[in-house]
C-alpha cells in the first residue's frame, strides 16, 4: 500500500514515536575525524550509530556478559532512535526519505553468545514502527568481542532519499 505524503511527514514519524513513549534524541557530535553522514545521488550513509541518551553513549559492555539479551535489544532500539535523529538532521526531516536500504548491526558479544539477530530486532522493529514500509531493510548481523569505547551496539545505515 502506497503511503500518503502526510504519513511520510516528520510530524507523523514523531507522533508514531510518541505513541511508543519515545522521542528522537539530539544527535551527538562525531567521536573522530569523520562526517556523521554522506549523501550522494539519492543514497545516504550514516556513520555508526550508538545507543545514546542526551548525546552520550549508554548501555556499554558485551551482550551475554555485562548485558542481558533484552538489554541488548533495548540498546539496539536506542541506536535506531539515534539513527532516525541523524537521518532527520541529514535530510531536514523525513519527507524526502524514500526508505532504509540496509542495516549493518554490530553486537559486542560474549564468547558463546549467538543471538545477535534477535538483539538487532530491537532496531528493526523500531524502524518499522516509526517509518512504516519505509523502515523495511536488508540487514547483516555481526558479533564482535568488543566495540570501540566499550559500546554494546553499532548500527551502520544505508538509506534512499529524494533529491531536491
CATH code at 91?
Answer: 3.30.1330.40
Q: Is residue 142 part of a domain?
A: yes
The count of other CB atoms within 10 Å of the CB of residue 15 is 11
Q: Which cell is 112 given?
A: 558463546
pLDDT band at 2 (very low <50, low <70, confident <90, very high): very low
Inter-residue contact 103 to 156 (CB < 8 Å): yes
**How many CB atoms sit inside 10 A of residue 159's CB?**
25
Show the cell assigned to 19.
505513541
Q: Among 5-9, 15-19, 42-46, 146-150, where is mean pLDDT lowest?
A: 5-9
| 62 within a domain of the structure (yes/no) | yes
Q: How far is 16 from 6, CA to CA, in rounded Å?
A: 12
Q: What's the rounded Cα separation, in Å, for the pair 97 and 137?
A: 13
Q: Please determine, for residue 40, whether its predicted confidence score (pLDDT) is greater than 60.
A: yes
* 44 or 27, higher pLDDT: 44
Examine residue 70 and state whether it is found in any structural domain, yes or no. Answer: yes
Mean pLDDT of 64-69: 98
Does the pLDDT of residue 56 top 90, yes or no? no
In a domain, 1, yes or no: no
Question: Taking the model in full, what pTM does it have?
Answer: 0.94
Nearest Cα to Cα of residue 52 among 151, 147, 124: 151
At residue 76, what are phi and psi to the nearest 5 degrees?
A: -65, -40
20 lies in some domain = yes
Amino acid at each position: 500500500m502506497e503511503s500518503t505524503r502526510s504519513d511520510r511527514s516528520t510530524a507523523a514519524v514523531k507522533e508514531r514515536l510518541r505513541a511508543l513513549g519515545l522521542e528522537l534524541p539530539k544527535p551527538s557530535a562525531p567521536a573522530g575525524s569523520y562526517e556523521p553522514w554522506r549523501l550522494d545521488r539519492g543514497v545516504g550513509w550514516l556513520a555508526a550509530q550508538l545507543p545514546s541518551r542526551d548525546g552520550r553513549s549508554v548501555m556499554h559492555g558485551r551482550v551475554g556478559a555485562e548485558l542481558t539479551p533484552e538489554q541488548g535489544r533495548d540498546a539496539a532500539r536506542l541506536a535506531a532512535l539515534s539513527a532516525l535523529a541523524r537521518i532527520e538532521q541529514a535530510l531536514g526531516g523525513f519527507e524526502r526519505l524514500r526508505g532504509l536500504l540496509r542495516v549493518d548491526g554490530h553486537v559486542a558479544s560474549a564468547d558463546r553468545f549467538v543471538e545477535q539477530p534477535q538483539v538487532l530486532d530491537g532496531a528493526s522493529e523500531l524502524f518499522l514502527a516509526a517509518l512504516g514500509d519505509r523502515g523495511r531493510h536488508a540487514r547483516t548481523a555481526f558479533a564482535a568481542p568488543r566495540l570501540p569505547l566499550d559500546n554494546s551496539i553499532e548500527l551502520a545505515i544505508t538509506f534512499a532519499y529524494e533529491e531536491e
